[in-house]
Amino acid sequence: MSKNQALVICISGPSGVGKDTVITRLRRLNPDMWLSVSATSRKPREREIDQKDYFFLTEEEFQHRIEAGEILEYDRFCGAYYGTPRTAVEEKLAEGRDIIMDITVKGALAIKEALPEAVTIFLLPPDLDTLRMRLSARGTETEEAIEARLAKAQSEIDQATKFDHTVTNRDLDQCVAEIKEIIRQEKSRRIADVN
């Protein structure tokens, strides 16, 4: 995949499961890990910054980028486009940097098809009530949007078996430790494969 066993790690799971927080913690442990900044056609939330949290595009701009081949994978989620810009991923892979992506189920499976050595990890909530509580506590979504995200959650969870690894986010420290161990094992497996 790349010169020095760099990993592409796809983190999926229902909205509210804690992907952002887990990814932030993993990057703190491994500051060299590069987070792929996605493009989306959804509206920015209050504290979100263009080009840092997402590349915020109109539907038309997003469609143009798909047609121009600039999007590695994309999905529709709750009425908006979300996708991974291609060039940045290719550049980081060429540099041998580990890449982490926050991505839908369909997106993670598309990445796995394009890059078979990618590692797909599905974060499970302890249960749907916890998910609802976390989504409400976050305060970023309207009641209607929370219902739409919860409706989507069950169908996403049903596909967890398609992932290389599933980890339950019951306790944040435990969840991060489990993913850290998965990354360590995947790294040593690649080093063993090369030797």
- Taking the complex as a whole, the smallest distance from the CB of residue 74 to ligand 5GP amounts, in Å, to 6
- Taking the complex as a whole, the smallest distance from the CB of residue 20 to ligand 5GP amounts, in Å, to 8
Q: Which is nearer to ligand 5GP, 62 or 98 (CB)?
A: 62
Residue whose pair of structure tokens reads 């219902």 in the numeric block: 147
- Taking the complex as a whole, the smallest distance from the CB of residue 177 to ligand 5GP amounts, in Å, to 22
- Taking the complex as a whole, the smallest distance from the CB of residue 163 to ligand 5GP amounts, in Å, to 13
Q: Which is nearer to ligand 5GP, 5 or 84 (CB)?
A: 84
Nearest to 160 by CA among 82, 115, 93, 105: 105
Q: Which is nearer to ligand 5GP, 38 or 120 (CB)?
A: 38
Q: Which is nearer to ligand 5GP, 53 or 117 (CB)?
A: 53
Q: How far apart are CA 103 and CA 122, in angstroms?
A: 10
Q: How far apart are CA 173 and CA 60, in angstroms?
A: 41
Edge-first strand listing for the sheet containing 55-56: 55-56, 39-40, 80-85, 71-77
Q: How far apart are CA 161 and CA 63, in angstroms?
A: 31
Give yes or no for a contact between 100 and 26, defined as CB atoms under 8 angstroms apart: yes
- Taking the complex as a whole, the smallest distance from the CB of residue 191 to ligand 5GP amounts, in Å, to 29
Cα 174–Cα 149–Cα 156 angle in degrees, nearest 5: 65
Q: Which is nearer to ligand 5GP, 2 or 104 (CB)?
A: 104
Residue 117: φ, ψ to 5°: -85, 0
C-beta nearest to ligand 5GP: residue? 107
Nearest to 175 by CA among 23, 8, 56, 7: 23
The site for ligand 5GP (CB under 6 A) is made up of 15, 19, 38, 42, 73-75, 77, 82-84, 102-104, 107
- Taking the complex as a whole, the smallest distance from the CB of residue 152 to ligand 5GP amounts, in Å, to 8
Q: Which is nearer to ligand 5GP, 5 or 101 (CB)?
A: 101
